[in-house]
Amino acid sequence: MTGQIVTANRLTDGVVVFLTPAAGWSDAVAEAALFDTASAAEGLAKGQADVARHIVVGAYLVDAEPGPAGPVPVEFRERIRARGPTVGVRGAFDVPAAFDAPAEV
């Protein structure tokens, strides 16, 4: 059964998060609530309510299917997004200072 999960970015640090069955947010896609067609709009409404409360930004539905450890996004883009940044992020990885933005002259 293909369903949908709700994803967004956490407002405090931009991390990709997924709406859980307990109506919280997790950075683990395996913990996402998998909605059927009839309940997906309700899940999205919860996500959009948290956008209005400045908890997350950009909530939207993603097609997903059940996997052995939890929902798995169907689209390749969303699978990459669920795995985390594909580039170094200062603080999360060692990023040389040479990659800092140049100082204004």
Show Cβ contacts of residue 52 under 8 Å, excluding neighbours closer than 6 positions: none
Q: What is the residue extent of each domain of the chain?
A: 3-64+78-85
Q: What is residue 74's predicted lDDT score, i.e. its pLDDT? A: 95
SS (H, E, C) 7-36: EEEECCCCCEEEECCCCCEECCHHHCCCEC
Spell out the per-residue pLDDT of the chain, length 105, in tens.
799 999 999 999 899 999 999 999 999 999 999 999 999 999 999 999 999 999 999 999 999 999 999 999 999 999 999 987 776 655 655 545 554 555 565
pTM of the model: 0.80
**3-class secondary structure, 62:** strand
Longest dimension (CA), the chain: 57
